Amino acid sequence: MTENQKSNEAINSNSTLLHGKYEVGRLLGHGTFAKVYHARNLKTGKNVAMKVVGKEKVMKVGMMEQIKREISAMNMVKHPNIVQLHEVMASKSKIYIAMELVRGGELFNKIARGRLREDTARLYFQQLISAVDFCHSRGVFHRDLKPENLLLDETGDLKVTDFGLSTFSEHLRHDGMFHTTCGTPAYVAPEVVGKKGYDGAKADIWSCGVILYVLLAGFLPFQEDNLISLYKKIYRGDFKCPPWFSSDARRLVTKLLDPNPNTRISISKIMDSTWFKKPIPKNLQRKKDELLDIEEKIKQQEIEQCSTMNAFHIISLSEGFDLSPLFEEKKREEKEIRFATTRSASSVISKLEEVAKAVKFDVKKSESKVRLQGQERGRKGKLAIAADFYAVTPSFLVVEVKKDNGDTLEYNQFCSKELRPALKDIVWRTTTSSENPSTLLEPNTLAVV
């Protein structure tokens, strides 16, 4: 083994180069089978959390499938309130998982100092439900939701982590249920304890209910020293709300901690509840708006640096010249919409404003860019669409429309139902004819790719 290979195999408290790509630094934490280090991508300068798993240890106790499941689940759920997976690498003895570095610590540490104000608890709960709803929409069920598995970033946003006990809809048995008993006793749903099969989504909702109770109360709804007594309380739904719970909070917690999974509240009804829908207070929202404004200014500066398009850019609009598949590991989930038009930029902007007005989207615009943003939160935050304008000649524009924020499925639906129909009249058209090359530039075929 070479010296370089040895340095890749051994990670200690000193800075170590991993796979020639990551500089690995101090230890952040450790468990039975893994250690987590601070690391930096040398190419991008990005800081990450590097989870190092010993293969021999996990294979010895039969946990390799659990590690694979955790990686698969994180790959499927890209959401602002879920810790993101960046990369997975391996050597003969180790698995290296590069993840988003979340600096704010566990939500558990915040609760340990006492109960939260209702407005703060609502903000965290809204983010938790948004993340869980997104997981369920992708067929992923966490099964171990608790404050210890909820992290906070430097801006105070919640991030769901630890998908080690997660499962997928394709693992359902013939009865349409899961049967593996797992989770943390104080947060586990009664039907999971009952061992008769359970719905993964409803079990996660119960855990969310326990978390909400803890946020508002500062202690658990079900507490017993004896595990059997604890499970009996959970099975009966035997808990009481403290007197400081508001009536709306009390009502929602009671529906979340319904021991009957068939009548337990659904996520759609949680989102529609009076308590959940209350807006974020101005003092909590102000900081987030300031950060968003900074990000928007940076994006705007990048756009203003390039408002024209050269011949190479025009050629690259053809999928035949698109070399990106050579470098991408998987097909892009959504396609950018590019089209040419002989209309002025102001005409295109007017069309986009009409679309925005029809669907109640906010509009931000400049001479070379328009941004449409939904007012309602979707599965992955508020949907935002950016349109960039490139002047080929004074009378010929190329417009590129792409998702700027939000859920891919919602973006695709928006493009299909709202955007394409609205833009069809202003798109410059062309047709391909092998018999008559002169017809290549005639306006007959919709040139949206």
* Catalytic residue set: 144
Q: Cβ neighbours of residue 145 under 8 Å, at least 6 residues apart?
A: 128, 132, 160, 187, 204, 207, 208, 211
What is residue 123's three-state secondary structure?
A: helix
Distance of alpha carbon 256 from alpha carbon 105, whole angstroms: 26
Q: Are 189 and 94 in contact, with CB atoms under 8 Å apart?
A: no
Distance of alpha carbon 223 from alpha carbon 227, whole angstroms: 9
Backbone φ/ψ region at 104: left (φ over 0), alpha (ψ -120 to 50), beta: alpha
Give the closest residue to 210 by CA, choosing from 188, 240, 195, 230: 188
Helix or strand holding residue 4 (H, E): helix 3-9
Give the closest residue to 336 by CA, choosing from 252, 400, 272: 400
Q: What are phi and psi of 392, to 5 degrees?
A: -80, -50
C-alpha dist (Å) from residue 66 to 141, 199, 344, 391: 14, 20, 56, 52
Q: Are 18 and 8 in contact, with CB atoms under 8 Å apart?
A: yes
Distance of alpha carbon 88 from alpha carbon 85, whole angstroms: 8
Distance of alpha carbon 211 from alpha carbon 160, whole angstroms: 13
Annotated binding-site residue? 55: yes
396 CB burial (10 A radius; 0-12, 13-18, 19+) = middle
CA atoms lying within 13 Å on the CB side of residue 183: 31
Distance of alpha carbon 230 from alpha carbon 120, whole angstroms: 29
Which residue numbers belong to the known binding site?
55
Binding residues for ATP: 55
